[in-house]
Amino acid sequence: MTTVHEPAVTTTAAPDLSVWPASTAEPRPGDLAVGGVALSELADRFGTPVYVLDEAEVRGRCRTYRQVFPDAEVLYAAKAFLCRAMVHWMDEEGLGLDVCSAGELELAVTTGFPPERIVLHGNAKSPHDLECALRLGVGRIVIDSPSEIARLAAAVGPGGHQKVMVRVVPGIHAGGHQKIRTGTEDQKFGLSVSDGYAQHAIARILDQPQLELTGLHCHLGSQITSVKPYLGAVRRLVGLMARLHRQHGLVLPELDLGGGHGIAYRPGEQALDLTTLARKVRAELTEACASAGLPVPRLIIEPGRAVAGPAGVALYRVLAVKRTGGRTFVAVDGGMSDNPRPALYGVRYAPRLVGRDSGAPLLPATVVGRHCEAGDVLAAGVPLPEDVRPGDLLAVPVAGAYQLSMASGYNLVGRPPVAAVRDGHARLLVRRESLDDIRSRDVGL
């Protein structure tokens, strides 16, 4: 058997902070601070693993969206990460919410978020999801399958009223991985334009007087870094709007292009240029509507990752260092139970040592989790000091989206807490899941 050795990295370098929150600084050699608070201090105070959210970064990204899309409705995609503080920040920054379950909806509304600024979608909404949406007065419900139409109309009742949209599949390939591409015909979301299912569903909705169709919805996928797919979606959706106008005299006031805006997880990676996206989508929409003889609908977008992702940092303690088979494995006290994305999508991160200054040469290491799976790998080929040892602190940037929100109870280790930092202060947002929490759910003895 041939042993594969990772190439050596023999030089140290100043930290590249391009994918870290804008507030990140190096108050002393070997340590980093975010929001004016040293990461080593946060690890000591809250324990590890811990997720840290830079509140100013979250708010700043919300304001960027409001600035580059001044005429659009911006909805934060709650599935990226949601807690009561996040709901509060979105409300104060003037964003709406895009939710996909009764749980996300209830958390938002009980925190005080206006339900009329919430959109509910999902490919398989449960009766409880729909009941909750109607009871709380959600702004719009996105219909994803024909069977939802009759169910929703019956739940609304003959004297009721509910605004709806229809999620259509424009047949566009986009997204960073096959598992997160949702604009094509071969996946579970939406209604196809090419086979007529979308048009048939729209005709059925128009026969339900208690349902008000306000627009079309699409979502092409996630981690998209090119503007081109969005322009293609605009053309195809406006084409469908033109056909609906000819057939039914229908003029739809809204067009939802979803989200999926790509971000950089490691230095040098490409991110979607929001200014270019906004300018080109606006021009494409105006031109397409003019050609079709339609008024320009209000644009809706649904960023999630691009708001929360770059604002988060995950902190782990090193538990073990193992050198075997020509490789160095650095095992930490978290892993796939708090971040399943590497196992699901093969994503790559850029962890770094914080909390102490090491003058040792950098060597490639594989950062692995503590769980009983060979695929529990957080990052491979990471340059870490040769003297990395148990007790060291590793920080992983761009950790604010689709990590803790997808956390599991694997090996019953408990989900990590979330802390927010801002202006030199830190506070706990979500406490650590304890063994008592886990035991309290187990009622079968």
The pLDDT tens digits for 398-434 are 999 999 999 999 999 999 999 999 999 999 999 999 9
Global confidence as pTM: 0.93
The reported pLDDT for the residue numbered 58 is 98
Which are the contacts of 151, defined by CB distance < 8 A and separation ≥ 6?
Answer: 127, 130
pLDDT reading at 12 higher than 50: no
Q: Which of 62, 218, 289, 372 is catalytic?
A: 372
Q: Closest Cα to residue 314, out of 257, 381, 391, 397? A: 397
pLDDT reading at 171 higher than 90: no
- Tokens 């979500």 correspond to 430
Class of the CATH domain delimited by 69-303: alpha beta
Determine the Cα–Cα distance for residues 72 and 297; give it in Å rounded to an integer: 10
Pairing verdict, β 352-354 and 393-397: antiparallel
Active site residue 83: no
Q: How many CA atoms lie within 13 A of 157 on its CB side?
A: 5
Instruction: Write the pLDDT tens digit of every residue in 69-84.
Output: 999 999 999 999 999 9
The reported pLDDT for the residue numbered 198 is 87
Q: Exposed, middle or buried: residue 13 (CB in 10 Å: 0-12, 13-18, 19+)?
A: exposed
Instruction: Write the pLDDT tens digit of every residue in 121-131.
Output: 998 899 999 99
Give the mean pLDDT of 171-192. 58
pLDDT reading at 92 higher than 60: yes
Per-domain residue ranges of the chain: 33-53+310-441, 69-303
Asked if the bond preceding 21 is cis, omega within 30° of 0, the reply is no
pLDDT reading at 376 higher than 60: yes
Give the mean pLDDT of 70-99. 98
Look up the CATH architecture of domain 33-53+310-441.
Answer: Beta Barrel (2.40)
The reported pLDDT for the residue numbered 105 is 98
The partner residues of 97 in beta bridges, in order of sequence, read: 76, 118
Q: What does the mean pLDDT of the chain come to?
A: 92
Give the mean pLDDT of 14-23. 90
